[in-house]
């Protein structure tokens, strides 16, 4: 509730009132002429009809998918193949991916919404509430997948939206009607890593190595090290590059701290733990407390029958059932898709006790085996070279549900202060 204005006693001399007014005018004039260099004036946030159906963001990420015809209008995409922010391989409408109407007919029913569908983002209301602000994503290509969905959804409310690639951003958009920016900074490991010839490796066992990637666990990648003061909201992720399919034994990751190799050498997931600890420490130290900091959990892969480079496939037409999830993703089953839960455990432990919020999108995404680009990649030889894409997501598609949840969490967090 707003505080009542302080009442001035009528007995005070008029000269005092004049002096008080003069001082107030002086201070207000100076603040207009010389605003703080590091702050950007933004309007207060206002609630709108698409705000939380539950106070806790976690309530939005637990639930079930339904194909109920009553919600047909609710699941209609906010954009199409013409979105200027699309990335070709994920533009499943343009690539004539089969089953797109069915993919976008499934609706998420969160536990916290009383049996009703997850509220959709209202792009115009969200942009209006975020006027003058900036949102940054940092991480691997799954955060890029997320950003493209976000940009396309918001672009439906600002026809003047244009591409934006400053501050080292890999991809982004500026919405001039609202003076609002969203951008993605590619940093797949978050930490700095560089290719090194094998001769540079100061370790005794070099047999079979063609070279190595030096990972400085205590140094953030250049792609995002200098943006800590620029954004009002930052969303982080890493995980999909922390596997032997990306860094095989002939070209491994070798972890350094303080400029020296860690001895004995770390296994890849132990290296991930150390990087997470260091990057979380950096975030807490360098990013202002007023910035909303969010860590997105892993987006699950759905390779069936083998890895991406071993003819793994995802030609499914319906989501998985709840009772099928553990057989696909439980690390105890040692399947090719165990990565998400393995990484999530380490993420949750690393950010515990900090002001970094967890955005757990893994569970609701585990169901959606049907929603990947698969063989519809937009290029003739793409599948022969790269295999099916059972890791990224079709757009429009599942990441639009991520956008609905993220937008609610951002508004709630900024309003809560």
The rounded distance, in Å, linking the Cα atoms of 20 and 128 is: 36
Q: Cβ(183)–Cβ(189) under 8 Å?
A: no
Please report how the helices 339-351 and 268-286 are oriented relative to each other, as an axis angle in degrees rounded to 10.
40
pLDDT tens for the chain, residues 1 to 417 = 333 333 333 333 333 333 333 333 333 333 333 333 333 334 444 343 434 466 555 679 999 999 988 888 888 999 999 999 999 999 999 999 999 999 999 999 998 888 899 999 999 999 999 999 999 999 999 999 999 999 999 999 999 999 999 999 999 999 999 999 999 999 999 999 999 999 888 777 778 899 999 999 999 999 999 999 999 999 999 999 999 889 999 999 999 999 999 999 999 999 999 999 999 999 999 999 999 999 999 999 999 998 887 889 999 999 999 999 999 999 999 999 999 999 999 999 999 999 999 999 999 999 999 999 999 999 988 898 889 999 999 999 999 999 999 999 999 999 887
Q: Residue 58's pLDDT is what?
A: 60
pLDDT value for 24: 36
Residue 372: per-residue pLDDT: 98
Distance of CA 89 to the CA centre of its chain: 19
**CA distance linking residue 396 with residue 412, whole number of Å:** 25
pLDDT at 23: 34
Strands 191-196 and 212-220: antiparallel
Q: What is the 3-state secondary structure (H, E, C) of the chain?
A: CCCCCCCCCCCCCHHHHHHHHHHHHHHHHHHHHCCCCCCCCCCCCCCCCCCCCCCCCHHHHCEEEECCHHHCCCCCCCCCCCCCCCCHHHECCCCCCCCHHHHCCCEEEEHHHCCCCCCCCCHHHHHHHCCCCEEEEEECHHHHHHHHHHHHHHHCCCCCCEECCCCCCCEEEEECCCCEEEEEEECCCCEEEEEECHHHCCCCCCCCCCCEEEEEEEEECHHHHCCCCCCCEEEECCCCCCCCCCCCCCCCEEEEECCEECCCCCCHHHHHHHHHHHHHHHHHHHCCCCCEEEEECCCCCCCECCCCCCCCECCCCCCCCHHHHHHHHCHHHCCCCCHHHHHHHHHHHHHCCCCCEEECCHHHHHCCCCCCCECCCCCCCHHHHHCCECCCCCECCHHHHHHHHHHHHHHHHHHHC
Token representation of residue 69: 């015809």
What Cα–Cα distance (Å) separates residue 105 from each residue in 67, 73, 117? Answer: 6, 9, 12
The sign of the CA dihedral 79, 80, 82, 87 is: positive
Q: What is the pTM of this model?
A: 0.87
> Rounded to whole angstroms, how far apart are CA atoms 281 and 301?
29
pLDDT for 56 equals 59
Give φ, ψ of 184 to 5 degrees. Answer: -120, 130
- Asked if residue 363 has a cis previous peptide bond (ω within 30° of 0), the answer is no
> How confident is the model at residue 84, as a pLDDT?
97
């Amino acid at each position: 509730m707003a505080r009542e204005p302080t009442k001035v006693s009528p007995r005070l001399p008029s000269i005092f009132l004049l002096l008080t007014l003069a001082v107030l005018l002086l201070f207000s004039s100076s603040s207009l002429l010389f605003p703080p260099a590091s702050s950007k004036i933004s309007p207060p946030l206002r609630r709108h009809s698409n705000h939380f159906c539950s106070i806790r963001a976690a309530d939005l990420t637990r639930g079930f998918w339904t194909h109920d015809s009553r919600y047909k209008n609710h699941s209609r995409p906010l954009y199409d193949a013409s979105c200027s922010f699309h990335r070709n391989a994920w533009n499943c409408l343009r690539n004539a991916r089969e089953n797109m109407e069915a993919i976008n007919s499934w609706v998420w029913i969160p536990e916290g919404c009383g049996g009703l569908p997850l509220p959709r983002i209202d792009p115009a209301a969200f942009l209006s509430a975020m006027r003058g602000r900036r949102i940054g994503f940092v991480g691997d290509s799954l955060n890029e997948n997320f950003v493209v969905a976000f940009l396309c959804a918001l672009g439906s409310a600002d026809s003047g939206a244009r591409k934006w690639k400053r501050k080292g951003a890999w991809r982004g958009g500026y919405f001039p009607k609202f003076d609002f920016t969203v951008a993605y900074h590619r940093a797949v490991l978050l930490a700095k890593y560089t290719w090194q010839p094998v001769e540079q490796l100061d370790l005794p066992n070099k047999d079979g190595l063609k070279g190595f990637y030096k990972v400085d666990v205590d140094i953030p990648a250049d792609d995002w090290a200098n943006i800590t003061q620029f954004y009002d909201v930052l969303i982080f992720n890493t995980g999909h590059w922390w596997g032997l399919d990306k860094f095989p034994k002939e070209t491994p990751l070798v972890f350094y701290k303080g400029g020296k190799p860690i001895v004995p050498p770390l296994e890849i997931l132990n290296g991930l733990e150390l990087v997470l600890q260091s990057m979380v420490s950096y975030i807490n130290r360098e990013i202002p407390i007023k910035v909303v900091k969010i860590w997105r959990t892993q987006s699950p892969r759905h390779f069936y029958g083998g890895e991406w480079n071993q003819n793994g496939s995802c030609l499914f037409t319906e989501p998985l059932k709840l009772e099928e999830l553990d057989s696909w993703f439980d690390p105890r089953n040692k399947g090719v898709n165990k990565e998400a839960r393995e990484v999530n455990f380490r993420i949750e432990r690393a950010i515990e006790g900090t002001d970094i919020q967890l955005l757990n999108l893994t569970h609701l995404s585990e169901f959606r085996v049907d929603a990947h680009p698969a063989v519809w990649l937009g290029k003739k030889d793409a599948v022969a070279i790269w295999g099916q894409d059972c890791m990224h997501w079709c757009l429009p598609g599942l990441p639009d549900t991520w956008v609905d949840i993220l937008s609610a969490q951002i508004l709630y967090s900024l309003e809560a202060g």
